[in-house]
Amino acid sequence: MRIFSLICCMLLMSTIIAQEEASINSPDGKLEVSVKVENGKPFYSVTYNEKVMLEKSPLGLVTNAGDFTSKMKLLEASKGTTSSEYNIKKIKQSHVSYKANTLTISFANAEEKEISVVFQVSDNDIAFRYEMPKWGDTRACVVEKELTGYNFPKGSTSFLSPMMQSMGGFARTAPSYESGYSADAQLESNTSGTGYVFPGLFKIGENGWVLLSETGVSSLYNASHLSSFKDGIYTVEYPDLAQNNGFGSVGAQIGLPGHTPWRTITLGESLKPIVETTIPFDVVDQLYEPSQDYKYGKGTWSWIVWQDNSMNYDDQVKYIDLAAAMDFEYILIDAWWDERIGYEKMEELIDYAKSKGVDVFLWYNSNGVANDAFMTPLNKMNTSIARKKEMKWLKEAGVKGLKVDFFGGDKQETMKLYENILSDANDYGLMVIFHGATLPRGWGKMYPNFVGSEAVLASEMLIFSQDTRNKEAFYASLHPFSRNAVASMEFGGILLNKYLNKDNKEGQERLTTDAFQLATGVLFQNPVQMFALTPNNLEDVPDFELDFLRELPTTWDETVFIDGYPGKFSVLARRHDQNWYVAGVNAEKSVRKLKLELPMLAGKTVTLFSDDKKKETYSKEIKIPSSGKVSVNIQPNGGFVIKN
């Protein structure tokens, strides 16, 4: 009898344990996510090839209708599968096939209110979110805080960019995701009081790599970021109250049933899955139909080098002519155009551009109430009435796109502004680039007329900051593994002036080679890219470099990681139709000698753009051996491109 009782007791214990734990594997079986409740608190952990990538990490939300962080019990867990195929021209892969196993875990809090966490686990990616049902008659709630955390094994290092101080920077427009990165930092050193922006990259000792981000942020939620390293973990933090001049909640007001955005984790033993991931787009849906077939391409942009003084009719004609000479599709006309050129003369300028086969993007200030940004056009994008009136004129004038600047913040209020601008612009057949803006979280798929965001320490800071010029190669070697791994990045680069000013004689000296600049045109992915060429480049830059830029695509069918280490060097391959471009940059102080495996180019005669020992850029034809193996030397602050 005692043995029978003991057996019953053991069975009861195993049932309780089973109810308090659940796990899910990836389709290939290598990636495992485990979820359990300990002392009323939910946690998850992650292994890859039986190596720990995330130790026990917290889950949970706090809402104004209930606390879902403690006194929780696991009710049930159900498993399933999901798959999809989609085509999209403007991200790193034009055709994506997504397959994942799913785990839905239902919890109840002390008040018996339920909440679920839904995991989708593909071979190298995890996406999970919280889903909330209606609670009786409660059909709305405010999510005030999220406890989702990331507990990395000891010995891990980070590659992070700090969140900018709220209402700081130029005209109190921060945060705008324009801080630099530190590389291979000890976790204990990540003590920024403002936290760190998504995405965040981590090296897990010898076990591999992890990239953290989020996706699916729309007007229905706020965006978030990583906290500083506290008590051994990072957590998801909602926006600082001071953002948006202190107006608006730091959490999210949602209707029930409702859900949070997806938290994403990309991981693997190498950097390959980090570079090639499409998870930001795999788990989101397109939110509306495109009003037309949008055309992507390259453009010129006077402001980046010639600055505010170029906002006049004659200089814009010169840049239209430059775009036409380069076979570029667009010109971006920046701030002050409404005052210094005027609407009537702008219509003439747009007609002139059309006569040259060039279309126009116009710059706008998003501001009206949120900060002190004063550049005009002002008060044209911040209200529905003003926005639709302006967009009606834009469509009639023949403008093809907008660049909207100076947002500064991640509150739900600001997410609504982003979405409203995009939705209204689509109604008028306009593409949108955001500048001085947040990280786009799945927007490349969600919004069909979205064609890129800055959200990076971009080319303009090369003009303004010696420190940024000193670190140009360092940052460029990081972006394919971090910022540009999760979203299109409107960098505005390819500077071919020796000095980054109009005179091009002295002053802000460029420290990188021409081959480096050409390589960034491949490394940095964005479907519409405004390059920093100047009219004098038609005379002072070798023809082979200009011809390369004329042929360079801005959309890609395939992206492949070749080699690299963030902060040191980076080599990627991208394919457009049948043409492959392999590009690399070197951020180290010595020559980087590489032996690359390029099976996609095996046996082919290709063109190599590279630098000699004097850092002079050259072009020559080479034959790739049938093995696909080729040796390449990259000079310090230099680069290379191989194209077939």
Give the pLDDT confidence of 382-423 residue by residue, as tens digits: 999 999 999 999 999 999 999 999 998 999 999 999 999 999
Q: What is the pTM of this model?
A: 0.96
Distance CA 23, CA 21 (A): 7
Q: Which two tokens stand for residue 106?
A: 């239902």
Q: Which residue has the tokens 């709305």?
A: 140
C-alpha distances out from residue 317 to 20, 351, 378, 407, 528, Å: 68, 11, 24, 30, 21
199 upstream amide cis, omega within 30 of 0: yes
Those residues whose C-beta lies under 8 Å from the C-beta of residue 425, and which sit 6 or more positions away, are: 391, 402, 431, 432, 449
C-alpha distances out from residue 386 to 218, 378, 379, Å: 22, 10, 7
Q: Please say whether the beta carbons of 520 and 548 come within 8 A.
A: no
Per-residue confidence band for 368, with pLDDT thresholds at 50, 70 and 90: confident
Q: Which two tokens stand for residue 51?
A: 């190596």
- In this predicted structure, the answer to whether residue 434 has a pLDDT above a threshold of 80 is yes
CA 608, distance to chain mean position in Å, is 29
Region 114-123: mean pLDDT is 98
Distance CA 291, CA 394 (A): 15
β partners of residue 226? 196, 236
Q: Which amino acid is at 628?
A: G
For residue 19, the model assigns a pLDDT of 53
pLDDT tens digits, one per residue of 291-334? 999 999 999 999 999 999 999 999 999 999 999 999 999 999 99
CA 218, 219, 221, 222 torsion-angle sign: positive
* Coil, strand or helix at 289: coil
269, with CB counted inside 10 A (0-12, 13-18, 19+), is middle
| 348: enclosing H helix or E strand | helix 343-355
Region 617-630: mean pLDDT is 98
153 upstream amide cis, omega within 30 of 0: no
For residue 547, the model assigns a pLDDT of 98
CA 224, distance to chain mean position in Å, is 14
pLDDT tens digits, one per residue of 462-499? 999 999 999 999 999 999 999 999 999 999 999 999 99
Q: How many CA atoms lie within 13 A of 75 on its CB side?
A: 13
Distance CA 458, CA 472 (A): 9
Cα angle 206, 212, 215; round to 5: 155
Kindly state the percentage of the chain with pLDDT values over 70: 97
Q: Please say whether the beta carbons of 481 and 566 come within 8 A.
A: yes
pLDDT tens digits, one per residue of 129-138? 999 999 999 9
Strands 200-204 and 208-215, how do they pair?
antiparallel
Residue 274 φ/ψ region, left for φ over 0, alpha for ψ in the -120 to 50 degree band, beta for the rest: alpha
Short-list 220, 614, 605, 141, CA closest to 442: 220
Q: Which two tokens stand for residue 457?
A: 């320490």
Short-list 551, 555, 557, CA closest to 526: 555
For residue 20, the model assigns a pLDDT of 83
Q: Which amino acid is at 633?
A: N
Q: Which residue has the tokens 């507990």?
A: 151
Distance CA 519, CA 505 (A): 24
